[in-house]
Amino acid sequence: MASDKTVLITGAGSGIGKATAERFARGGARVIVHDFRDAGRQFAGSLGAAYVDGDLSAFAGINRIAEEALAIGDGKIDILVNNAGFQHIAPVDRFPEETWAGMIQVMLTAPFQLTKAVLPGMKKQRWGRIINIVSMHGLVASPFKSAYVSAKHGLIGLTKATALEVGEDGITVNAVCPAYVRTPLVEAQVADQARIHGIAPEAVIPNVMLQPAAIKRLVEPDEVAEFIWYLSSDLARSITGAALSIDLGWTAR
């Protein structure tokens, strides 16, 4: 498995990233937690993991983040999990342009920059895993999420193109597309969704987040973390360029 590997996970201070860091730590991997909040630093300390801070919305700062992580990994990152993200809910004609640009940077440009930084080491050793956490909104759209949907659709395109370029180097590149996961990011959406849809907050999860789903519950972070662990293993060596759903049947309609 990935027990002898170094893994960099962005946005690992909470949610899917945190569960993924915990899973790799249990498996014996060298974990590098990236975040920009005190909670991320504290979590890394409690896990016994290395920590790299930095704001992914700053284009010029990504190289520093990559350099620090590579230094921790003795010049290489075996597994990159591009997980960091955020959401803003608004109609297109009232979507703040600065927020749009920030979301594209964090969820599409930063993964490209980090992928570019780690590929030379992966190619040299002829082994690597890049896993992009996308969301079902990389496959389908929802209203009021234009920037998020655009970034996630683009990230699937980056996943596929990169996979085709590096397949002969022993590197796989895949996208994981969960439905709504029980995370602070999703919980923070409830009030905004209620306001914009004109419904009570308690109606958001059943009537908006789970309405199209076949399985009527939120995805748990550890479910996604286990799938990332599998994709990082040699058992998944034939899977690349794929957009893989963990979406409760959300996109089956």
pLDDT in tens, 74-93: 999 999 999 999 989 999 99
Say how many C-beta atoms besides its own lie within 10 A of residue 124's C-beta. Answer: 12
Say how many C-beta atoms besides its own lie within 10 A of residue 107's C-beta. Answer: 30
In a domain, 211, yes or no: no
Taking phi over 0 as left and psi of -120 to 50 as alpha, with beta for the rest, 118 belongs to alpha
Number of independent structural domains in the chain: 1
**Token pair of 5 as six digits:** 């590997």
pLDDT in tens, 173-204: 999 999 999 988 888 888 888 898 999 989 99
In a domain, 114, yes or no: yes
| CA-closest candidate to residue 34, choices 69, 73, 70 | 69
In a domain, 156, yes or no: yes
CATH number assigned to the domain comprising residue 20: 3.40.50.720
In a domain, 66, yes or no: yes
Q: Which domain holds residue 80?
A: 6-179+220-246
Q: Which amino acid is at 82?
A: N
Is 230 a catalytic site residue?
no
Q: State the pLDDT at residue 234.
A: 95
Stretch (H or E) spanning 224 = helix 221-231
Annotated active-site residue in 51, 148, 180, 230? 148
**Token pair of 145 as six digits:** 């999420």
